[in-house]
Chains A and B, each alone.
Chain A
Amino acid sequence: MELLYSSCVGLLVACGVFMILRARTFPVVLGLTMLSYAVNLFLFASGRLSMNQAAVLGYSENYADPLPQALVLTAIVIGFAMTAFVVILAIRGRADLGNDHVNGTVPDKPKAVSRQAKEQGKA
């Protein structure tokens, strides 16, 4: 179980990191969302995994660690606020800059340009 859980966290981190390394804003936003899932799961698991032991008094013998849960709960909400901020920033960036590249400008493709230049030179 623990192995499966950790694999899921690892996979989410890997996918998230791959996505935030993309060049356009939307995949980066998705990557950040995925990373925040992974981080929340990771932090949550620091209280160890337990089933049917919700930290509500009187409902079970042992209780899952409530502290990471409380921390993750606010992390989820703030994570949403941050995702929203990045999304709006991306929209604003596109509106102001005319493209949705993370660097603000779409890089030239040197080969295509040089080929064009050559053709122009010949003409």
Chain B
Amino acid sequence: MTLLWIPLISLLGSLLSSFTGKLSRNQSTAITLIAPTVALLLAINLAPAVFAGEAIRATLDWVPILDLDVSFRLDGLALLFVFMILGIGILVIIYARYYLSENDSMPKLYAYLMLFMTAMLGIVMSNNVIQLWVFWELTSISSFLLISYWWHKSEARKGAKMALAITGGGGLALLAGLLLLGHIVGSYDLDIILASRELIQSHSLYEVALVLVLLGAFTKSAQFPFHFWLPHAMAAPTPVSAYLHSATMVKAGIFLLARFYPALAGTEIWFILVSLTGLVTLLVGAYIALFKHDLKGLLAFSTISHLGLITLLFGLDTELATVAAIFHIINHATFKASLFMATGIIDHETGTRDMRKLNGMWRFMPYTATLAMVAAASMAGVPLLNGFLSKEMFFAETLHQQLLGSMSWLIPILATIAGAFSVAYSARFIHDVFFNGDPVDLPKEPHEAPRYMRVPIEILVALCLIVGMFPNFVVDGILQLASGSVLGTEPPEFYIAIWHGLNLPLLMSAIAVCGGLLIYTQRRYLFQFQASLPPINAKKGFEKTMHSVVTWSQNKISAIENGSLQRYLMLMLLVVLLSAGWPLFEMSQLVGQNQLTPVDIHNGIGAGLLMIGAIGTVIWHRTRMVALLMISVVGLMVSVAFTRFSAPDLALTQLTVEVVTIILLMLALFFLPQKTPKESSSIRTLRDLGIASAIGVIVGSICYALITRPLTSISDFFVANAKTGGGGTNVVNVILVDFRGFDTLGEIVVLGIAALGIYKLIIHLPLFMPGSDSEGRPWAKERYPLLLASISQSLLPLALLVSFYIFLRGHNLPGGGFIAGLVTAIAFILQYIAHGSNWIAERFTLNYRKIIASGIAIALLSGLGSWAFGRPFLTTWFDYFDIPLIGEIELASALVFDLGVYITVVGATLMILASLGKVTANTPKEEVNI
């Protein structure tokens, strides 16, 4: 479990460092250093076990049903990367302390850096490929934040966007590839995937998965043709470049190649894709690097070139090539990080990175110059430095491959040419910056960097030297270990030596060094030639592509989404039409097996009235009052239908809701125009009629098909248990408050939410108050007719009594909380209509929000009450009591629940109508015409 702490501590460190804004810079740095140091100690503590040959694993269940775990694993390869990530991370944190100016936010950089560190640790230690991918994307996001750290600079924003688009896009390809791998293997567990080489490579989807995974790796590692984001990412602060573009971010792609090497490598297509991509990248990067005047630009293309070299090594079909690749990962990280840091010092102390201005820095900063020169020599592959060793191995391996068949001899030649360019740009870095005459109008007077700013570089350069001189002593162990976990077998016998005797690789090195120096001295001609080529501006091209993609999708979106709700609705209805209509055409017969019942006269009349009402609503829909009257006929007939077809509860509910709805709509008509202007063209009306009839026909047919078929229902259970289990004879009510009480609880909550939403919409309503109706007739002067007032007043107690009765008997006979609540609400609304809200406010203090809340609370508490008796939520209880004079009565806890329903319904209904009605009460009448 110690394993889980390594990424976790790093994540906590990210949080911790973001809170150090108030502290001094040194304190902030010190606090930030805690997390990586602790994590590094943990890793060192775990190292002996890994060296003993055991991969350490730690797993937490996450979503077991989806085969998703939080799962970490530390093997040799992961350990190597963990050391690099944490070690170089610590150096970068120290370095950044001196690099950032007073104006830059230190906690911000540190928090992002630590987040990035977490993501990298997650990638290298994940034992689940989905989890690996999540961390992979996290590196894209955190590197976006890091590159755009100086967000006020346009190139920083553009560079960050480009990096995110390329690496994020590659990440999506990787996800697809990993999902395919998971599909092929049947598990997302990395251990299992790595052990399923045969299965994966014989599967028909192998090529697809491979290409997708490689896309992820190549975009991240800036391989040609995705390399162009890396130079633009140099807009980041130099510590960020030193970290991301030497040891971590770009190495994530390389890590992916190494990680999946056991499962994916070994086939023809792997070797062709990986080695050729690597070769092209190696050459392109080395060539372009020479022409960059910006120091960081040079280093960026050099990085691209070295990444190509490592990729090429993974694509060579020998075990030693893999060892060389891993060795070069280490070496490149050390010399490139130190070079970036040295560049940062030069930039920091002179104010420029332009090699045409920087000359003769040796005199001003001899110490930094020495460090930078050693690192640059390592980059060039000069003997006694670590870069030389891995480059020798690389040259040796290029001689042992058969990639291009009879043309395989080309690869060593091309490798030597790339090596020569590498020497040339390293020579340029050293000579142009530190010698080559005097500086040309520098923005600052150059001087040596602060003492501790150089410490990280000193450590890294020392590593370059130690590894270069005593390779077997320093790196042999970790190299064996890491190669072993990449190859999946015992690594081959290898012996890294400084002196192998006079052999071909040494000759290649010599040619590269001499050739490189020659290229450098004769660079004038090359520069002239390069200047004569048409310029390629990757940024412009990228932005143009992005722009056209965005424009294209915006056009497409606005073509579909034109802002007309009518249109959206019509499209949705068409979809309904197709999806609901299609199955009907596949059905052989509409009518089912049930015995049809004949139409009797009552039903016929009822249906006729309903149809007249519905058609009338449509015909007179522009005269809104008439339409309202028509629709009320429909509502009434619906409630009659419920009565007719054995649903008394529904009939009562429908009737009361109908009353409330019509009152509400009449109130609404006060605020809305009373007439609808004629707008639709005849064609449009015809079209809508067509859609409407088609949907009507389809729904009617489905309904007919449904009700003429026999029914198998689960309701027998409810009927059988209503009395014995729920203590009531009205099965509908028992279902509501007992069997399906949880549903009902949800429903009254929805009711409460709707009422509160309405309340929020009504308060602060900028009111439109017509003083007369649309034809200019003033409203009736007598607002509260006397007759209505006196009758309604006497009706109130009666109505309350009725509702109380309906409520009480609900459990056994038609009635219950919903209906009783509506009846009570109607009784109160009648008072509002008859007397106005001021009259009510004088007599009752009703806070409807509190009423709704208490209703829901009562229902909830009655449900929670069952916990006190050790029963599940909403278990009901009932018993019979014999009370003198009244007789035997039944008390049920469901009644309390129903009381909650009752109170909520009363509160919500009154809130809706009273809030709207209240608006009309006090406002003076104004003439507004719209």
Contact = CB atoms under 8 A, between A and B. Distances in A.
A117 interface: no
A102 B431 CA distance: 73
Contacts of B657: 76-77, 79-80
Interface in A81-118: 81-85, 87-92, 94-96, 98-100, 102-103, 107
Contacts of A81: 750-751, 754-755, 908, 912
A78 B747 contact: yes
Contacts, number: 310
Contacts of B185: none
A120 interface: no
B672 A90 contact: yes
A10 B696 contact: yes
A51 B599 CA distance: 12
A8 B692 CA distance: 14
Contacts of A83: 661, 664
Interface residues of A, number: 86
Nearest to B822: A77
Interface stretch (B238-246, B410-418, B699-707): B699-707
Contacts of A45: 703, 706-707
Interface stretch (B638-646, B783-791, B887-895): B638-646
A8 B611 contact: yes
B673 A15 contact: no
Contacts of A33: 631, 635, 661, 665
B699 A38 contact: yes
B618 A26 contact: no
B743 interface: yes
Contacts of A63: 715, 719, 731
A47 B711 contact: yes
Given A49-B707, A54-B646, A17 B691 contact: yes
Most B C-beta atoms less than 10 A away, residue of A10, A19, A88, A92: A88
Interface in A8-30: 8-27, 29-30
A37 B730 contact: no
Interface string B202-214: 0000000000000
Interface stretch (B189-197, B226-234, B380-388, B620-628): B620-628
A99 to B, nearest CB: 7
Contact of B818 (A54, A65, A73): A73
| Chain B interface mostly | helix
A67 B696 contact: no
A102 B836 CA distance: 31
Given A18-B688, A27-B627, A2 B729 contact: no
B638 A41 contact: yes
A123 interface: no
A76 B713 contact: no
B611 A18 contact: no
Contacts of B671: 91, 94-95
Contacts of A95: 671, 765-768
Interface string B800-817: 000000000000111000
A99 B813 CA distance: 48
A23 B566 contact: yes
B466 interface: no
Contact of B730 (A6, A55, A103): A55
Contacts of A77: 653, 657, 747, 751, 818, 822, 905
A16 B599 CA distance: 25
Contacts of A8: 607, 610-611, 641
A12 B650 contact: no
A10 B699 contact: yes
A74 to B, nearest CB: 4
Most B C-beta atoms less than 10 A away, residue of A30, A37, A73, A99: A73
Contact of B713 (A21, A53, A65): A65
Contacts of A44: 642, 645, 647, 650
Contacts of B731: 55-57, 63, 66
Contacts of A54: 646-648, 814
B700 A70 contact: no
Given A73-B650, A84-B758, A50 B645 contact: yes
Interface stretch (B11-19, B320-328, B452-460, B732-740): B732-740
A72 B650 contact: yes
B626 to A, nearest CB: 11
A77 to B, nearest CB: 6
Contact of A73 (B599, B622, B649): B649
B650 A30 contact: no
Contacts of B86: none
Most A C-beta atoms less than 10 A away, residue of B646, B668, B704: B646
A98 B928 CA distance: 11
Contact of B661 (A10, A12, A46, A80): A80
Contacts of A18: 618, 688-689, 692
A41 B638 CA distance: 8
Contacts of A7: 607, 611, 700
B847 interface: no
Interface string B713-726: 11100110011000
A13 B603 CA distance: 19
B563 interface: yes
Contacts of B635: 33, 37
Contacts of B744: 74
B703 A6 contact: yes
B700 A25 contact: no
Contact of A4 (B604, B614, B676): B604
B696 A6 contact: no
B765 A92 contact: yes
A26 B672 contact: yes
B497 to A, nearest CB: 79
A81 B275 CA distance: 67
Most A C-beta atoms less than 10 A away, residue of B751, B762, B908: B751
A6 to B, nearest CB: 4
Nearest to A107: B679
Contacts of A38: 699
Most B C-beta atoms less than 10 A away, residue of A3, A81, A96: A81
A26 B671 CA distance: 11
Interface string B99-134: 000000000000000000000000000000000000
B614 A12 contact: yes
Contact of A74 (B598, B713, B743): B743
A16 B853 CA distance: 34
B713 A27 contact: no
B565 A74 contact: no
A14 B692 contact: yes
A80 B819 CA distance: 13
A98 B597 CA distance: 53
B532 interface: no
Given A6-B701, A21-B566, 5 more contacts: A6-B703, A6-B707, A15-B618, A74-B744, A76-B650
Nearest 5 interchain pairs by C-beta? A10-B700, A14-B696, A6-B704, A18-B692, A81-B754
7 contacts: A3-B596, A15-B617, A17-B688, A22-B680, A50-B646, A84-B661, A102-B565
